[in-house]
């Protein structure tokens, strides 16, 4: 089967969420490395695909698609998997949590990883605030009864989106040992369950993420490219 999907990615970037879904769906896809070390995401070639200059982009038969959540939802709908169907009773909360991941959790992580893009001058207060917000978000998620996708054996696109976001704070949050996922036992169990899947193992191998990429992350050692 030839691949009609091309994932523009960098190791351990938000493209990992998309790779996890592609691996879970077992659909053929090609990868195109974006050279983060050379700011490849700001090149004219990349900006033609995503004028925001952000990774990931998925090239599809209908053209390039950007925004992690949009790509995940498009893939789920295209393949009729990883997300409850439009008329399913679970659909409402599934949409709610996708929007929350994209609109609440992910932007807070971006504030933490790129405080210079959110602060005028001193970045320390922005970084500190992002850390506080992150803990509060994870408290909400860990207590949420409607987030039943956290506890299920069969993954959804939420799992593909969340798992990398639980990995990154310990590695890119600035300073060692400030973030311990074990403080949220439900999320820690989710991370362990997710990384045990064959799809996650394949993604971890492709991007050099180590054996416990979500529950106990270590710095990535990718076969090509760099995370930053
Ligand atoms: N809202 C975007 C955020 C993507 C994002 O933050 N990508 C990061 C990599 S993980 C990036 O491209 N960073 C480079 C930059 O900010 O210049 C999405 O969900 O696709």
If we measure between CA atoms, which residue out of 10, 21, 6, 15 comes closest to residue 63? 6
Can you tell me the distance from the alpha carbon of 169 to that of 112, in angstroms, rounded to the nearest whole number? 8
Can you tell me the distance from the alpha carbon of 213 to that of 221, in angstroms, rounded to the nearest whole number? 11
pLDDT digits 0-9 by tens, 100-134: 999 999 999 999 999 999 988 999 999 999 999 99
The pLDDT assigned to 2 comes to 63
Contact in structure between 33 and 9 (CB atoms under 8 Å): yes
pTM exceeds cut of 0.85: yes
- Which residue among 17, 38, 46, 55 is best mutated to probe the pocket of ligand 1, counting the most ligand atoms within 8 A of its Cβ? 55
Which ligand 1 atom is the nearest neighbour of the CA of 110?
Answer: 6
pLDDT digits 0-9 by tens, 35-86: 999 999 999 999 999 999 999 999 999 999 999 999 999 999 999 999 999 9
Q: Which residue puts its alpha carbon closest to atom 16 of ligand 1? A: 54
Can you tell me the distance from the alpha carbon of 168 to that of 156, in angstroms, rounded to the nearest whole number? 20
Long-range CB pairs of 87-91 (<8 Å, 24+ gap) are 90/148
Edge-to-edge, what's the strand order for the sheet holding 63-66? 30-33, 6-9, 57-60, 63-66
**Out of 75-79, 94-98, 169-173, which region has the weakest mean confidence (pLDDT)?**
169-173
Contact in structure between 228 and 41 (CB atoms under 8 Å): no
Query: Who contacts 208 (Cβ-Cβ below 8 Å, separation ≥6)?
Result: 11, 220, 221, 222, 223
Ligand 1 cavity residues, CB under 6 Å:
13-14, 41, 53-56, 67-68, 106, 110, 114
pLDDT digits 0-9 by tens, 182-210: 999 999 999 999 999 999 999 999 999 99
Residues in the chain: 228
Peptide bond into 184 cis (omega under 30): no
Q: What distances in angstroms separate CA 61 from CA 4, 28, 78, one per listed residue? A: 6, 13, 12
Distance 62 CA to ligand 1 centre (A): 22
Can you tell me the distance from the alpha carbon of 176 to that of 200, in angstroms, rounded to the nearest whole number? 25
Q: How many angstroms separate the most distant Cα atoms in the chain?
A: 52
Distance 25 CA to ligand 1 centre (A): 23
Which ligand 1 atom is the nearest neighbour of the CA of 114?
Answer: 16
Q: What's the pLDDT band for 3 if we cut at 50, 70, 90?
A: confident
Distance 88 CA to ligand 1 centre (A): 31
The matching CATH number, chosen from 1.20.1050.10, 1.20.200.10, 3.30.70.260, 3.20.10.10, for 91-197 is 1.20.1050.10
Can you tell me the distance from the alpha carbon of 209 to that of 191, in angstroms, rounded to the nearest whole number? 14
Instruction: Provide the residue ranges of all domains of the chain, joining segments of one domain with +.
Output: 91-197
């Amino acid at each position: 089967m030839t691949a009609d999907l091309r994932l523009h990615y960098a190791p351990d970037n938000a493209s990992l969420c998309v790779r996890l879904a592609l691996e879970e769906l077992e659909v053929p896809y090609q990868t195109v490395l974006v050279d983060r070390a050379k700011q490849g995401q700001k090149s004219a070639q990349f900006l033609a695909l995503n004028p925001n200059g952000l990774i990931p982009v998925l090239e599809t038969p209908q053209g390039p698609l950007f925004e992690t959540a949009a790509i995940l939802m498009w893939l789920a709908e295209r393949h009729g998997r990883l997300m409850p169907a439009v008329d399913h009773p679970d659909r409402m909360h599934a949409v709610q949590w996708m929007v929350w991941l994209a609109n609440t959790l992910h932007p807070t992580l971006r504030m933490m990883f790129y405080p210079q893009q959110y602060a005028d001058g001193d970045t320390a207060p922005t970084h500190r605030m992002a850390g506080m917000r992150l803990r509060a978000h994870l408290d909400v998620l860990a207590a949420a009864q409607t987030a039943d996708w956290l506890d299920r054996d069969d993954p959804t696109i939420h799992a593909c989106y969340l798992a990398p976001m639980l990995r990154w704070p310990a590695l890119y949050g600035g300073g060692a040992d400030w973030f311990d996922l074990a403080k949220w036992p439900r999320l820690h169990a989710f991370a362990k369950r997710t990384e045990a899947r064959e799809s996650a193992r394949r993604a971890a191998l492709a991007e050099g993420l180590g054996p416990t990429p979500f529950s106990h992350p270590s710095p990535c050692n990718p076969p090509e490219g760099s995370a930053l």
